Structure 1
Amino acid sequence: MDLRIFTEPQQGATYDTLLTVAKATEDLGFDAFFRSDHYLRMGPVDGLPGPTDAWVTLAGLARETKRIRLGTLMTAGTFRLPGVLAIQVAQVDQMSGGRVELGLGAGWFEEEHTAYGIPFPKEKFARLEEQLAIVTGLWATETGQTFDYDGTYYQLTDSPALPKPAQAKIPVLIGGHGATRTPRLAAQYADEFNMPFGSIADSERQFGRVRAAAEQAGRKADDLVYSNALVACVGKDDAEVARRAAAIGREVDDLKADGLAGSPDEVVDKIGRYADIGAQRIYLQILDLDDLDHLDLISTRVQSQLP
């Protein structure tokens, strides 16, 4: 089971804070550092000093880390034209020496679009399908060849399809709870399917849909990695769990029901139950980015117990 650190910087974080967490992620033996792609805070927080851009952040981290994978859960398709996104991600992959992964979603948070003058189209999912075709198509085009695409929303003509990533293939992540279109897109384009904040039962059901869609598309179901994103709140004892829950404005019972909360042994047990239904990787949503002792505890008392 891979454990990855997943951050929500729109809630309030500077680049320096994110760099500190990314370096701790690397030093403590976690597999990857991922971040959300949002420009507006959510809930009763001030969000200060303001948003940081996902791919600008990852470009910086690419030069200041050595081992960990770097990526997004999920890049909002509404924020960037697909040709521009393909260039940005390929460049950051080169800057990292081939450690980048792209989670790409349709975008959903209308308020952040109106706050920053970003169009919020109605046909977001149809646009996402074209974006996936373009981004992956540009990267797959052989050097010296050109790429063309004539879609409903995007048209590319005689694109040199440059630059190329450092990796032969950048892993693409698709996720969500949708019962039909999401599994179909994952089967067509994804290297990894991520179930965000889903129960064990809901995850098992959705993994089954994706596996069936993959086989229907002519792929082996096991060609994809299956993962979960879950909020983490771990403590050595009940008092520490309660303190960490309070720091992020959550109730312990809710965190235990919906996430990975409790003692290290409790969390290891719940991770095992996700593994039993096919999860191979978990993104630990860390909401208090100043609490590096939390990461240390998860590394030494949770990660160390996992196969």
Structure 2
Amino acid sequence: MANGNLLGAYLKNRRTKLDPVLFGLSGSRRRTPGLRREEVAQRANISTTWYTWLEQGRGGNPSADVLDRIARALTLTGIEREHLFLVGLGRQPGVRYHGSDPITPRLQRLLDALTWSPAIVRTPTWDVVAWNRAAAVVLTDYGALPPDQRNILRMIFSDPRIRSAQPEWEAVARFVVGSFRIDAARAGADAEIMPLVEELCRSSPEFASMWRENDVQTHGEGVKRLNHPVMGPITLEYSAFAVDGRPDLSLIVYNPATPGDQRLIENLMQARPALAAE
């Protein structure tokens, strides 16, 4: 650390925290804890000399491929791999989309605490994976849909009810397509979205035209207006948040824009039976 060798210090730290027994190696007669340098090098398929130089700060800048192999050799987590690239190359690693694990109970409790504000959690491919009761009542009863139908893009272009609720449907659709495109690209999910894109291109000429335009948007914050079948016109202010530690998830919160909008939501939720967030 004294000479600024952040990469070497981090590699040594991670290496010494590994249990040799877990890798089928003997844990006896070791002067220091963890794996030996030559063991890490062998697992990473690089020379022991090269790995030793990296720890000593004499190896120059390693390639992304070398760092990736070292990350696997050291069984780094996603955030540890990201830090390895930041100290080794000064940038984040290339994205690798692995799909989304279920949300934690704590995140669901956060959604449920937003009593009058519809809130959802979605993936980079715009699948809704969690929601609160306000979202089920005001937006869509996601629990009544099969999991593979809880995709915002598919609902916008395939569900007449969703379309009729948008007073400015074309503007909303263009915004969704542009945001969807950039989110999928950032997550490295281009291959994963292609079946959905091809399906919508076949079923919706409007989607096909918008997709060919290659526009991109950012889904940060804005205003959403709805023609609700029960409440009538209602305005919501939305904000999108990254879920820390879960780059595959985004939290979208829709706050009533005015006290009158909140009263409409309160009245509707009190009149409707409970809709569970499944």
TM-score (norm 2): 0.23
Q: Highest CA radius of gyration, 1 or 2? A: 2
Point out the structure with the larger helix share.
Answer: 2
